[in-house]
């Protein structure tokens, strides 16, 4: 699954619901005869500079229909009911996560089942009012308590939470939610209607948003950066998938709305692990790399979770001959300009599930381990979840504080400040989590920068005193 939270150690059955059929009329002279079938979504790359008219014409000529075209990065989202659409465009340019999952289901004879569960509407009066800050060990670990004597963030700093939707009625989040900058991206094109960006079956996005910006109101939990706002950008569907077209849409939407930060607590992949192979790597990597590059140039810094597969993401560790693509790459965490976050437990040791890798992991943060997870907001109340999904928003929250203090800072400036203020963490001398005498993972690097913790533990900066210098009393 693409969600990076680990509330239980249980197998999850993935399912797919494919909707809609398309029909085609008789082919015109010189045009291919289009087959009739289920309408599947594709991401399609074009040469940079390709006009929208040219892109639509090529997609139409290959028996497809254009949903949206992003001329800034020359990427389109298209639908087609013709199984030959991808081959006509070129398998090195077109990819469908839906088709990939459908093929896997046919191979394993797994029948898709509809998702029926829906989240109940939050009753503000019934959300527990008790102060739960004593259970927020994660905030103490990153020194977030330093900033509790005043407003932590500015309301003009907006964080795009690219996730499964944020509960608009939760009392710890309702004032922080930026409805105007929220959108649903499941089709690959932004939809600003509340129904498109609100959560339906998943608590995940609400939990992530609470870690970033839950109100400092003396009740429930408090986020890293109360005072900043969060936009619900829904990219994860009801089955837990974040398809490439949804992620591209989310990143492009954040750039178009001039959001300072995004948080991606998911990996883009139709498979069960963060390992992508062959031409699929080329297309999926390329569309996301273009979207991240564009959003960074537009002033948005992107933060992403490293995934929960305990995979070594070190580039040199990817095996296989040239072109075989048999290694693992976490997307979007593994992309240049993305801040990739690993997770630690309450013991400050890399969590067993957290992926890692020298040259990939930039920083670490609390994600929790079984029995001591991270407490945050969920529709109707509060709940603990574990995962790199929970680690990433701690980093995003700290960056939101840095952006509040430096309104004109560009993404790379914020990133350098984040890394400089991190608390260095050396590789552990012994990483035998199971006690069987064998190392469960190998940490490469040195104290200031290594594959487990990157530049170290994220740290909330000291609150500035009236004269502009950090106040040592805080």
Instruction: Estimate the share of the chain in helix, then strand, then coil, as percent rounded to the nearest 5.
Output: 25, 20, 55
Cis check: omega of the bond before 440, within 30 degrees of 0: no
* DSSP symbols for 162-230: EES---TT-TTTTTTB-GGG-EE-TTSS-B-SHHHHS-SS-SHHHHHHHHHH---SSSB---SSBTBEE
Q: Strand, helix or coil at 92?
A: coil
d(CA 329, CA 335): 9
Of 329, 344, 309, the C-alpha closest to 422 is 344
* Nearest one of 174, 166, 301 to 232, comparing CA atoms: 166
For residues 79 and 40, the answer to whether their CB atoms sit within 8 Å is yes
Measured CA to CA, the distance from residue 261 to residue 275 in angstroms comes to 26
- Tokens linked to 156: 């003009």
Token pair in block for residue 301: 């810094």
360 burial (CB, 10 Å; 0-12 / 13-18 / 19+) is buried
Residues with catalytic roles: 163, 204, 389
Q: State the CB neighbour count (10 A cutoff) for residue 17.
A: 12
Q: Which of 373, 393, 423, 365 is nearest to 224 (CA)?
A: 393
Structure tokens belonging to residue 380: 């109707």
CB of 216 within 8 A of CB of 145? no
HSE-up (13 A, CA, CB side) for residue 11: 2
152 dihedral zone (left: phi>0; alpha: psi -120 to 50; beta)? alpha
Q: How far apart are CA 314 and CA 316, in angstroms?
A: 6
Q: What whole-number distance in Å separates Cα of residue 242 and Cα of residue 292? A: 16
∠ CA 380-383-384, rounded to 5°: 165
């Amino acid at each position: 699954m693409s969600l990076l939270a680990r509330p239980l150690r249980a197998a999850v059955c993935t399912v797919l619901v494919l909707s809609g059929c398309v029909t085609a009329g008789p082919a015109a002279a010189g045009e291919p005869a289009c087959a009739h079938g289920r309408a599947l979504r594709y991401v399609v790359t074009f040469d940079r500079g390709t006009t929208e008219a040219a892109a639509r014409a090529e997609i139409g000529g290959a028996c497809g229909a254009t949903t949206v075209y992003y001329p800034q990065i020359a990427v389109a989202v298209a639908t087609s009911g013709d199984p030959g659409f991808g081959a006509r465009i070129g398998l090195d340019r077109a990819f469908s996560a839906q088709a990939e999952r459908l093929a896997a289901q046919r191979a394993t004879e797994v029948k898709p089942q509809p998702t029926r569960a829906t989240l109940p509407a939050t009753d503000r009066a019934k959300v527990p009012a008790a102060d739960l800050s004593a259970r927020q060990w994660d905030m103490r670990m990153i020194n977030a308590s330093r900033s509790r004597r005043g407003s932590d963030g500015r309301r003009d700093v907006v964080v795009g939470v690219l996730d499964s939707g944020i509960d608009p009625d939760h009392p710890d989040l309702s004032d922080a939610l930026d409805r105007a900058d929220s959108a649903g991206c499941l089709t690959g094109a932004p939809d600003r209607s509340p129904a498109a960006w609100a959560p339906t079956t998943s608590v995940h996005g609400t939990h992530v948003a609470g870690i970033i910006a839950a109100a400092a109101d003396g009740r429930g939990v408090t986020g890293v950066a109360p005072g900043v706002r969060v936009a619900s950008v829904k990219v994860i569907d009801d089955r837990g998938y974040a398809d490439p077209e949804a992620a591209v849409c989310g990143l492009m939407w954040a750039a178009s709305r001039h959001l300072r930060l995004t948080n991606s607590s998911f990996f883009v992949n139709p498979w069960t692990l963060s390992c992508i192979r062959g031409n699929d790597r080329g297309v999926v990597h390329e569309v996301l790399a273009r979207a991240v590059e564009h959003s960074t140039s537009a002033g948005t810094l992107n933060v992403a979770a490293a995934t929960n597969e305990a995979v070594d993401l070190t580039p040199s560790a990817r095996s296989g001959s040239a072109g075989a693509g048999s290694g693992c790459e976490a997307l979007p965490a593994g992309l240049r300009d993305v801040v990739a976050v690993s997770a630690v437990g309450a013991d400050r040791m890399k969590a067993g599930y957290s992926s890692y890798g020298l040259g990939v992991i930039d920083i670490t943060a609390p994600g929790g381990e079984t029995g001591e997870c991270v407490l945050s907001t969920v529709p109707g109340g509060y709940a603990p979840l574990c995962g790199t999904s929970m680690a990433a928003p701690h980093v995003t929250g700290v960056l939101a504080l840095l952006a509040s203090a430096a309104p004109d800072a560009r993404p790379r400036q914020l990133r350098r400040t984040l890394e400089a203020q991190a608390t260095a963490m050396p590789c552990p001398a012994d990483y035998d989590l199971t006690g069987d005498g064998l190392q469960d993972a190998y940490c490469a690097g040195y104290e200031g920068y290594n594959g487990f913790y990157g530049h170290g533990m994220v740290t909330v900066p000291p609150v500035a005193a009236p004269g502009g210098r950090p106040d040592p009393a805080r």
